[in-house]
Structure 1
Amino acid sequence: MEPLSHLESFVQSAEGGSFSAAARRLGLTPAAVSKNVARLEARLGVRLFQRSTRRLTLTEGGERFLAQIGGALATLQEAVAGIDKDDGQPAGTLKVSMGQAFGREHVLPMMGDFLARYPAILPDWHFDNHQVDLVGEGFDAAIGGGIELSAGLIARELARIHVVAVASPRYMEGRERPRHPSDLAALDTLLRRSSPTGRLRG
C-alpha cells in the first residue's frame, strides 16, 4: 500500500491544479509534493499528470486513479482523525477475574474513581474464587495467587500475601511450640484440595 502522504499529495494536486496549491493545503513545500507524486507514479508505473509551467493536467490514467481512490482516501483520513481525537485514552471492555473477598475489599471501592478517570472503559469484572483460563475465556487480566501462566502471559506482583498460623492454647498443651515453618509438619493438619488444579494445600 502506498504511503498516505503520497496519495494525499496526488489528490490535492489534482484538485488544486498545481503542486503549489497542494503544498499550501498540506503544509509542505512544492518540491516535497512533487517528489511524493513522482514516487507514486514510479510505484504505479503510470504517468498521472501532464506537467506544464502553468498548470497540471491529469492524464487518462490519472483520472481513473483519482476516481478509484478519492472515496477510500477520505475514509482513511477520517479514521486517522478519529484515532487522534481519542488522545490515546483506553477504551472498550475490560474483562478481569478476581477472588470475591479481594474484589469486595480492594477493587470495588476504587471502581468509581477508575470509571471517572477512564470513562470509555466498560468494566466486565468477574468475582469468582476459581482459576480461569485467561486466553480461552477471553480475559484481559486476572488478580490472584497461584495462577499458572501459559506462554505469552505476563505476571506483575501487586502485593505480598502474609500467612499467619494460629492454634488454640488447648491444642498446644503438651506439644512443642513450632519455631520454624518446617516444624508445622509435625502437627495435625487439615488439608484442602484446590478445585481448579486438584492439588492439596495445607
Structure 2
Amino acid sequence: MTKRAQSKYKIDRRLGQNIWGRPKSPVNRREYGPGQHGQRRKGKLSDFGTQLRAKQKLKGFYGNISEKQFNNIYKEAVRRPGDTSEQLVGLLESRLDAVVYRAKFVPTVFAARQFINHGHVRVNGKRVNIPSYRCSPGDIVSVKDSSREMMMVLEATQLAERDVPEYVEADHGKMVATFLRVPGLAEIPYAVQMEPNLVVEFYSR
C-alpha cells in the first residue's frame, strides 16, 4: 500500500488550484502558495516547469499513486494505439478507486482507496481490495451489504458538489455501479483543466 506523503489540501495549496472542487479547500480562501514566501510574485514557468506542474496536478488528482505507478501507467498508454494523452486519462479513470469515487460511494478519491483496502467493495460479485485494479467496460462495482449504511457512504451519495459522469451508471438505492466505457478526456468531470498532453511531453522529453 502506498502511503500518502502529504495532506491532500497541501497539494491544492502547492498547485494553487482546487483540483477536486472541494468546498473546504484552502485555495477557496487564499489563492497564494503556502509558507512565508507564498505571496511573492511568481515568475513565469519554463516549458519544463509547465509540464511538471501538469504532471503533478494529474497525478495528485488520483490520490496515492506513486511516481513509479504513474510512470508505468504512462508507459502502457504509449504502447496502446491512438492518442497517448487520451489513453493515459482513460487508464486512470479505469482504476477501481476512480470508479468508486466517480460513482459517489465515497466523498474523496483518498477515501476510495481506504474503502477498497478495507474490503468494502465487490467487482462482479467478488471481493477486490486492490485500488489499482483495472475495471473493464461492463464491470459491476458494488458496496458490501454490511457497509452500505456507513455514514461516509450515506453522506457521499448526497454530495451536491459533483455528479456521476455518463460513463458510470450508479444506483445509490442498491449501492451498485456499472463501468459503462473507458472515457475520453472531454467526458471526465475534472474540477480544473487537466492537460495530459503536457504530461506526455514531460515523459517523452
> Shared fold (TM-score greater than 0.5)?
no
User: Which is bigger in relative contact order (C-alpha 8 A, separation at least 6)?
Assistant: 2
- TM-score interval, smaller chain: under 0.3
Higher Cα Rg: structure 1 or 2?
Answer: 1
- Which structure features the higher share of strand residues? 1
TM-score by length of 1: 0.24
